[in-house]
Amino acid sequence: MQSASVKGLLLIVCGPSGVGKSSLCQRLRQEFPRLKLSISCTTRAPRGQEQDGTHYHFMSDEAFVDLINQGAFAEHAKVHGNRYGTLRSTVEEIIGVGNDMLFDIDYQGARQLKAAFPQARSILLLPPSITELERRLRSRATDDDDVILRRLDAARHEMSHYGSFDFALVNDDLDAAYQRLKTVYQALQQEVRYHAPLLERLLE
């Protein structure tokens, strides 16, 4: 276990709709309670049982733009007409006490976050094929053909930026994909920089 004085790591997980990202991230957080999910700010309205401060920080477009102008965001983007962003203060507070952070954001947000926090590491989740991704999207029975086709186009676009990522994991089987994700997370915890305080004590 890392020393409480060691700043936590930042793990970014990206992937197209239907690739199984939410299921994998939820499972990782359940097994590793120190891995905290980033709560984003957004200008969209709450859906269903979503609560402010638990699922998102809901705010007006004007308030969001004010925060952009203040340089308060580590990353932000406009997606489908709504703004989403991660506050720098949220990141610094969580990793400052030694917890790790998990980010479920798109490739644009991942790029910005890595620029703001160079220690962040990113994973791109991939489907085994576009045909399988389409099958998963259709099996949800929540979207019409036009929406599914747009999601597939968006998937190809996001995956075309694979060079921006540190790791790529294929979700051909949920259990196997989870073991790969878990292995990457545990390996990242062993990077030398997270053990600097211990090393300094050993070398005194």
- Per the DSSP assignment, residues forming a β-bridge with 27 are none
Burial environment of residue 77 by CB neighbours within 10 A (0 to 12, 13 to 18, 19 or more): middle
Residue 114, pLDDT > 60, answer: yes
Strands 100-104 and 35-37: parallel
Q: How far is CA 20 from CA 40, 56, 89, 166, in A?
A: 20, 21, 29, 19
What distance in Å separates the CA atoms of residue 66 and residue 166, rounded to the nearest whole number?
32
For the segment 150-170, the average pLDDT, to the nearest whole number, is 94
For residue 135, what are its two tokens?
Answer: 């099958």
Residue 4 pLDDT grade (very low, low, confident, very high; cuts 50, 70, 90): very low
- Best CA proximity match to 24, nearest among 164, 130, 32, 196: 32
In this structure, how many other beta carbons lie within 10 angstroms of the beta carbon of residue 17? 19
- For the stretch 124-141, pLDDT in tens is 999 999 999 999 999 987
Q: Where are the alpha helices (DSSP H) in 32-144?
A: 61-69, 88-96, 107-116, 130-139
Domain boundaries, the chain: 10-38+99-202
Q: Answer for the pair 43, 59: CB distance below 8 angstroms, yes or no.
A: yes
What distance in Å separates the CA atoms of residue 47 and residue 194, rounded to the nearest whole number?
38
Q: What is the DSSP letter of 40?
A: -
Residue 6 pLDDT grade (very low, low, confident, very high; cuts 50, 70, 90): low
Select 10-38+99-202's CATH number: 3.40.50.1970, 3.40.50.1820, 3.40.640.10, 3.40.50.300.
3.40.50.300
- For the stretch 163-183, pLDDT in tens is 999 999 999 999 999 999 999
pTM of the entire predicted model: 0.85
Show contacts of 143-152: CB within 8 Å, 24+ apart.
Answer: 151/16, 151/17, 151/18
Q: Which amino acid is at 85?
A: G
